[in-house]
Structure 1
């Protein structure tokens, strides 16, 4: 169970012309599939604390994953069908990344085929708010349409340990806060136009 915190929001912005399904997950928890219709956003409070098994609670360095698929069935592992947006809160910061580990195929040294990854062909981006909205100094990550996006400290995860396996820094960026009012956008199909974001959360 997530703890009620006065945090900002994660917004998955489905700019695709097709529906997507997402699952929210952390240690010992995974939601059922949530449909995010074409050309619509999904908004969720940033989870910074949650219950763990054996009466434990995560209160710092708490990671959350949003698994994204074109279907209601997730297939993990190499050649699977799930794109992952991931974030963790630690010491007042939020760290975020995108992962193709569970959808890439034909993996080779610093190379791989991400065509199974939802919206890879149309572009993916993670970013914070921009003017005229209040900005919070967030970094950004982008994988352009059909771009392999394997870079040193940027792009997407193709392997789980890029430093050890490919001598590349982890593609992770940060926001200096996750307080109320801040929003972090996980955008799919970025080659399409933006859409309005101000909607209610799909989770209670």
Structure 2
């Protein structure tokens, strides 16, 4: 049996391993709703008003952050940001599989003004789909791009970086954050 100090160290170590957060920055001029889905969680929708952000800690199981323009998760009308942590390495991608129609992602929330997914660690990859563009090397349009499109899977990672970082997902990324004054200081809404 391990002494109590060993359990404390193990608990602290597992907390430190997943020290990062997921941050959805909604730069869109419309509200969005987020469902954070993983094997251990089917969350209720979280309302993220226009020009605001939502932060939540990393989960240990593969997670899909489904984004909708309504408080209903309607098939064919949601964008997905997905991530997994495997052997203390972060993997992530953007998916239009549930909303793209061929090369068009016009039914995917945020696509009209671009989407970006990256981290606070410069060693990591950056997934970016510019406003209205067809970007199959940056986002999933089909479930198996190698077989169906002849291209590599658009998955990004941070080799050797661990998970002590934040993972940002920017909706309507081409739109500048809104500036406003709060208690005498300038705040950038929808900005990290």
TM-score bucket of the superposed structures, by smaller chain:
0.7 to 0.9
Larger radius of gyration: 2
TM-score normalized with structure 1 length: 0.76
Task: Name 2:80's counterpart in structure 1.
Answer: 84
Q: State whether residues 117 and 169 of structure 2, in contact with CA within 8 Å, keep that contact through their aligned partners in structure 1.
A: yes
Q: State whether residues 5 and 47 of structure 1, in contact with CA within 8 Å, keep that contact through their aligned partners in structure 2.
A: no
**Secondary structure of the structure 1 residue equivalent to 2:125:** coil
Match of 2:111 among 98, 107, 120: 120
Once residues 5 and 32 of structure 1 are traced to their aligned partners in structure 2, the CA distance between those partners, rounded to angstroms, is: 25
**Secondary structure of the structure 1 residue equivalent to 2:15:** coil
How far 1:197 sits from its partner (Å)? 7.0
Match of 1:174 among 157, 161, 164: 157
Task: Name 1:22's counterpart in structure 2.
Answer: 34
Task: Name 2:130's counterpart in structure 1.
Answer: 144
How far 1:165 sits from its partner (Å)? 1.5
Q: State whether residues 136 and 177 of structure 1, in contact with CA within 8 Å, keep that contact through their aligned partners in structure 2.
A: no
How far 1:28 sits from its partner (Å)? 5.7
**Secondary structure of the structure 1 residue equivalent to 2:140:** coil
Gaps (5+ residues) in structure 1?
49-61, 130-134, 200-204
How far 1:27 sits from its partner (Å)? 2.1
How far 1:29 sits from its partner (Å)? 3.0
Match of 1:163 among 127, 140, 146: 146
Gaps (5+ residues) in structure 2?
1-10, 178-187
Q: State whether residues 34 and 48 of structure 2, in contact with CA within 8 Å, keep that contact through their aligned partners in structure 1.
A: yes
**Cα distance change on mapping 1:69 and 1:113 into 2, 3 Å:** same
Tell me the C-alpha RMSD between the 2 structures.
Answer: 2.0
Task: Name 2:173's counterpart in structure 1.
Answer: 190
Aligned residues, how many?
166
